[in-house]
Amino acid sequence: MRAHKPLLIVLSGPSGVGKDAVLATMKELGRSFHYVVTATTRPRRTREKNGVHYHFLSPEEFQQMIDGGQLLEWASVYGNYYGVPKDEVARGLAKGMDVIVKVDVQGAANIKKLLPQAVFIFLLPPSMDELERRLRQRSSETVTVLALRLMKAKEEIESLPLFDYVITSRQGELESVVGQIGAIVAAEKCRVRPRVIEL
């Protein structure tokens, strides 16, 4: 009787909160979304695959996408560029699929300005101590980057009012987080005033 347009879900939160782990669990559990692959100039980590985890681009290639207006949003984070290719989002919506995009908090704020009708979800660490512990586990973090990320995380949590929903991301409770995202999507599809994304 009422066909809802597909949703654009923006999943954000501080570095180390577990955004990638949540997305990986959603994929494992077969949650049907169009998962947007972000473009980045940051070095590929071991086990990351080009075109799967990120589109790994050279600074020159990234600049071409900016110049061509091909990015929905982009930002420089700790000296690396991250961007959301417009065509990835458009392709998902055109297929009638809900689109989910993972961005840092600055990125979410940028998307909010362009597409306030997206659904903005903030992943919150259970505590700053827990966030620090998780960041330390990443062998890729130097001491300076770790300190920067923690300082940044405190700032980012101040951006919570920009978001629609907040989910606390507890260690070992990834499926619960995924369940809450599922509930948010199901509830949004029942809204009397549906969100309409126009790219």
Nearest alpha-carbon partner for 9 in 87, 94, 93: 93
Among 59, 96, 116, 126, binds a copy of itself (CB under 8 A): 126
Closer Cβ to a copy of itself, 143 or 186, answer by number: 186
- Sheet of 54-56: strand order equals 54-56, 38-40, 80-85, 71-77
179 in helix, strand or coil? helix
Among 59, 96, 116, 179, binds a copy of itself (CB under 8 A): 179
Q: Answer yes or no: are the C-beta atoms of 99 and 93 closer than 8 Å.
A: yes
Among 75, 164, 173, 197, binds a copy of itself (CB under 8 A): 164
Cα distances from 161 to residues 29, 120, 121, 139, 165, in angstroms, run: 30, 10, 11, 32, 9
What is the x/- site pattern for a copy of itself, positions 131-160, by CB under 8 A? -----------------------------x
Q: Is 122 in the site for a copy of itself (CB under 8 A)?
A: yes
Structure-token pair, residue 115: 């597409």
Closer Cβ to a copy of itself, 83 or 125, answer by number: 125
Q: Is 161 in the site for a copy of itself (CB under 8 A)?
A: yes
In angstroms, give the least distance from the CB of 43 to a copy of itself.
33
Q: Answer yes or no: are the C-beta atoms of 121 and 32 closer than 8 Å.
A: no
Among 27, 95, 154, 191, binds a copy of itself (CB under 8 A): 191
CB atoms within 10 A of CB 167: 22
Closer Cβ to a copy of itself, 52 or 192, answer by number: 192
51: CB partners within 8 A, 6+ apart: 37
Per CB under 8 A, residues contacting a copy of itself are: 1-2, 121-122, 124, 126-127, 160-161, 163-168, 179-180, 182-184, 186-188, 190-193
